[in-house]
Structure 1
Amino acid sequence: MLFMPLRQHATHLIVGCYKEIYRVLKPGQCFAVYEWCITDHYDPNNATHKRIKDEIELGNGLPDIRSTRQCLQAVKDAGFEVIWDKDLAEDSPLPWYLPLDPSRFSLSSFRLTTVGRIITRNMVKVLEYVGLAPEGSQRVSSFLEKAAEGLVEGGKKEIFTPMYFFVVRKPLSE
């Protein structure tokens, strides 16, 4: 167990988390989950898809984004029965990634536009140079920007959703 591969370890941890929730719920009680997931459109052999997934994971501090199927399997492995599941992004009237899309101009989200990101990048550089921002701020800003790009691209290609929702129930009898 000490040398478990990261992906297997992450799956083991999430099943353990769900088992603990299962343990504290009374029989018949429900639990709702909202997950960031890779969709069925994701192709692990596609270099672009892999890059997008990596950008999302790195910039958002995620060890491994699970697929919707892996999420459902984890709650089943913990003992739950799945009542309902859906990617809520599929029926959304507006794309969920719209506020992060740099091609969309808006005064309220100016900092997320291409021009806003350039200004932010240069401000962070100046602040770090004069010592008002800690060393490494440029690097953090850069990978957060990459994460936002990955989120937008993942949303546009429909390989990633931050809106996978499911409801599970602890069975009445165990």
Structure 2
Amino acid sequence: MGADGRVNERIENYTKFWEKDSAKDTETERDNRLNNYTDVINGYYDGATELYEYGWAQSFHFSRFYKGEAFLQSLARHEHYLAAQMNLKPGMLVLDVGCGVGGPAREIARFADVRIIGLNNNDFQIARARKYTKRAGLEEQVSFQKGDFMKLSEIFGEAKFDAVYAIEATCHAPSFEGVYGEIMKVLKPGGTFGVYEWVMTPQWNPSIPSHKAIAHGIEVGDGIPEMRPQSACIDALKTVGFEIKHEEDLADRPDEVPWYYPLEGDVSKAQTFWDYFTVWRMSWSGKIVTQSTVKVLEWIGVAPKGTYDVGEALKVAADALVAGGRQKLFTPMFLVISNKPTSS
């Protein structure tokens, strides 16, 4: 392990978990990813985190856009909306499952005046999360814990949190039932779980090769062992005992500006002057500049080996996400608000 917490071997081996051709990516490869999900996730984020921050700031998620709305404003509003839907109140103890570098935790802590513990199994991201939180002066309100989200009850004990949320994170779990079941355990009776889940929509049909290829591209490019249908999310929540209060695919709203527009790389669609650079990074020239720089940094030893390959996987993901978004086959914002029963 490097001084910054990254493991070069994990980054170098990341892309070996998938067959490049979706038609050749069988249950054998899928099962291998599911069984080794921690290596898949950590290899991905060891290589992708700095690229994410470069292109997407400190909140690694998508959001809806209003006409003329700035990119960073949209990210914050998306986080505020989740907190409001969960009815978070001042003083609550809240768990952020799969917290990244802590962008949403810091924003929601300020917005709702709650205390948040961010859980992450990646040393590199936790170190950055703590650095940014200290810089923001939020150390008394936001803290971070290393751990596997499939073992929440072992880490925290049962009935500890007033609320739990996950923003585009539990799609990395080997099973929805497993991670949702752990969230159920650590919630207090009557506690709320809110999630923005990555799922394939009801329009998606894996027997159609082009549909399967989109899901495969998302998996390869975003460190996800297996993309699952929307119904699997709802079924899993019900199976582990949650009472669903609200469900909605926010990507299905009739928005004039689609959630995936920053990935299209069309600078003419930038909503504000400052967003031109954000959108340019995903253009053909922006990708060339970024990847050429990464290749040089990797060659001189500044970036870990394998970072370039992860960057190439991110390009695959961007194309698949845009295709999935345009065809309404994929959503990164299937919102579900559910409660733990007050009594069993």
Q: Structure 1-normalised TM-score? A: 0.84
Name 1:108's counterpart in structure 2. Answer: 277
- 5+ unaligned residues in a row in structure 2: which ranges? 1-27, 36-171, 271-275
Q: Secondary structure at the match of 1:168?
A: strand
TM-superposition CA deviations, 1:28-70 (whole Å, max 9, x none): 3322111111101111011111111111111111111221110
1:151 equivalent to 2:318? Answer no
C-alpha distance in structure 1 between counterparts of 2:329 and 2:303, whole Å: 35
Cα distance change, pair 24–86 in 1 and its aligned pair in 2 (3 A): same
Name 2:288's counterpart in structure 1. Answer: 118
Alignment partner of 2:262 out of 99, 102, 108: 99
Q: Secondary structure at the match of 2:246?
A: strand
- 5+ unaligned residues in a row in structure 1: which ranges? none
Q: Which moved more, 1:127-136 or 1:149-158?
A: 127-136
Alignment partner of 2:230 out of 54, 58, 68: 68
Cα distance change, pair 135–77 in 1 and its aligned pair in 2 (3 A): same
Letter of the 1:22 partner, please give it: M
Q: Secondary structure at the match of 1:26?
A: strand
Letter of the 2:291 partner, please give it: R
C-alpha distance in structure 2 between counterparts of 1:67 and 1:8, whole Å: 16
Letter of the 2:306 partner, please give it: G
Q: Secondary structure at the match of 1:69?
A: helix
Cα distance change, pair 173–50 in 1 and its aligned pair in 2 (3 A): same
C-alpha distance in structure 2 between counterparts of 1:92 and 1:115, whole Å: 31
C-alpha distance in structure 2 between counterparts of 1:121 and 1:151, whole Å: 19
Q: Secondary structure at the match of 2:194?
A: strand
1:140 equivalent to 2:318? Answer no
C-alpha distance in structure 1 between counterparts of 2:303 and 2:192, whole Å: 45
Name 2:203's counterpart in structure 1. Answer: 41
Q: Which moved more, 1:145-154 or 1:5-14?
A: 5-14
Report the number of matched residues. Answer: 171
Q: Which moved more, 1:89-98 or 1:132-141?
A: 132-141
TM-superposition CA deviations, 1:70-103 (whole Å, max 9, x none): 0001111101121110001111522110111123
Name 1:169's counterpart in structure 2. Answer: 339
TM-superposed CA distance for 1:129, in Å, is: 4.2
TM-superposed CA distance for 1:12, in Å, is: 6.7
Q: 1:103, 1:114 within 8 Å by CA — same for their partners in 2?
A: no
TM-superposition CA deviations, 1:112-162 (whole Å, max 9, x none): 112211222333334444554443333222111111111111111111100
Q: Which moved more, 1:70-79 or 1:86-95?
A: 86-95
C-alpha distance in structure 2 between counterparts of 1:125 and 1:166, whole Å: 40
Alignment partner of 1:15 out of 173, 177, 185: 177
C-alpha distance in structure 2 between counterparts of 1:82 and 1:69, whole Å: 13
Q: 1:55, 1:150 within 8 Å by CA — same for their partners in 2?
A: yes
Letter of the 2:194 partner, please give it: A
Name 2:127's counterpart in structure 1. Answer: none
Letter of the 1:28 partner, please give it: G
Larger relative contact order (Cα-Cα within 8 Å, sequence gap ≥ 6): 1
Q: 2:173, 2:179 within 8 Å by CA — same for their partners in 1?
A: no
TM-superposed CA distance for 1:168, in Å, is: 1.1
Percent identity between matched residues is: 40
Q: CA RMSD in A?
A: 2.6
C-alpha distance in structure 1 between counterparts of 2:288 and 2:215, whole Å: 24
